[in-house]
Amino acid sequence: MAARATLPSLTLLRSDVELRPVPADAQAATEADDAGPDAAGETATEPAPRALARLLEDLRAARERDPAARSWAELVLAYPGLHAVWAHRVSHRLWQRRGTRLLARVLSHVARSVTGVEIHPGAVIGRRVFIDHGMGVVIGETAEVGDDVLIYHGVTLGGRTTKRGKRHPTVGDGVVLGAGAKVLGPILVGDGARVGANSVVVGDVPAGWTALGVPAQVSAPGTRGAMADPALFI
Ligand SMILES: CC(C)(COP(=O)(O)OP(=O)(O)OC[C@H]1O[C@@H](n2cnc3c(N)ncnc32)[C@H](O)[C@@H]1OP(=O)(O)O)[C@@H](O)C(=O)NCCC(=O)NCCS
């Protein structure tokens, strides 16, 4: 989630917002998995200690974000969102080898049956991503999700076209996606942005901004409600 580019669209109040660019070659983005290591820098031979460290940081992230979590055992045993992310880590590795793609799909299907969360094995999911409640989340094949993202139940990171290539959103680090939010198309949700519950987002959301409604309108921090700072409108 490093590269950034100026993005002129969808700014209701400002026009100098920075976001990461959509990959120039959309088809290449879809086929990138064939090459092996993914955009998150993971490899199919990640050592076990690192995998365990990732698992522990997932648990910590979940505990920090869910005030209802009472114990580590509860998190390990009864949090479908964690189980879904862990299953995805395995299925994503299987997806990176052409010969095991069917197996990846089957594992993803089994995980969906158990957790209610459907993550396509091709999707790139960052570190410490926490899916709270789980049920009804759908994350498409070419979606990319950054680190420390909080996803509530019913969120869809979906496409708006049936054409191959990059067709799902890219979600930056530290984003919050409210319950039932639909984020559609190869759009960018910038770092630290928030998407309100049940909003339908079809355009870019600048970093740190909030997207609300159907279709979602974006607003800068402190500018929502009753003209938070009238000077912005003069
Ligand atoms: C988008 C969100 C992060 C905004 O939080 P916030 O900055 O604290 O904003 P507020 O709650 O103070 O609301 C500000 C305004 O936005 C409106 N609003 C908030 N969330 C909204 C939503 N999802 N859709 C439409 N309007 C919304 C409020 O009614 C309020 O309107 P007003 O200024 O006209 O009174 C939050 O409302 C949200 O949707 N979070 C997701 C929570 C979630 O999914 N929880 C599931 C737990 S199981």
pLDDT digits (tens, 9 = 90+) for 65-88: 999 999 999 999 999 999 999 999
Ligand 1 pocket residue status of 213, Cβ below 6 Å: yes
Question: What's the 9 CA to ligand 1 centre distance in angstroms?
Answer: 23
Provide mean pLDDT across the span 220-234: 60
d(CA 234, CA 223): 13
Give the dihedral sign, CA 156/161/165/171.
negative
Instruction: Report the nearest atom of ligand 1 relative to the CA of 179.
Output: 44
Ligand 1 pocket residue status of 178, Cβ below 6 Å: yes
The confidence score (pLDDT) of residue 49 equals 81
Instruction: Report the nearest atom of ligand 1 relative to the CA of 132.
Output: 48
Ligand 1 pocket residue status of 194, Cβ below 6 Å: yes
Ligand 1 pocket residue status of 179, Cβ below 6 Å: yes
Ligand 1 pocket residue status of 221, Cβ below 6 Å: no
C-alpha to C-alpha distances, 53 to 58, 72, 105, 153, 170, nearest whole angstrom:
9, 15, 26, 26, 25
Cα angle, residue 69 at apex, residues 179 and 193 outer, rounded to 5°: 35
Spatial neighbors of 145 by CB under 8 A, at least 6 apart, are 123, 124, 125, 126, 129, 139, 151, 157, 171
The confidence score (pLDDT) of residue 225 equals 60
The confidence score (pLDDT) of residue 46 equals 66
Question: What's the 181 CA to ligand 1 centre distance in angstroms?
Answer: 12
| pLDDT, tens digit, 9 for 90 and up, residues 156-182 | 999 999 999 999 999 999 999 999 999
Q: With contact defined as beta carbons under 8 Å apart, do 118 and 137 qualify?
A: yes
Asked whether residue 152 carries a pLDDT value surpassing 60, the answer given is yes
Instruction: Report the nearest atom of ligand 1 relative to the CA of 178.
Output: 44
Amino acid letter at 20?
R
Ligand 1 pocket residue status of 196, Cβ below 6 Å: yes
Ligand 1 pocket residue status of 210, Cβ below 6 Å: yes
Choose one of 149, 224, 227, 229 to mutate for the ligand 1 pocket test, by most ligand atoms within 8 angstroms of C-beta.
224
Question: What's the 196 CA to ligand 1 centre distance in angstroms?
Answer: 6
The confidence score (pLDDT) of residue 29 equals 42
Question: What's the 161 CA to ligand 1 centre distance in angstroms?
Answer: 29
Spatial neighbors of 72 by CB under 8 A, at least 6 apart, are 59, 63
Ligand 1 pocket residue status of 198, Cβ below 6 Å: yes
Report which listed range, 33-37, 42-46, 161-165, 207-211, is most confident. Answer: 207-211
pTM score: 0.81
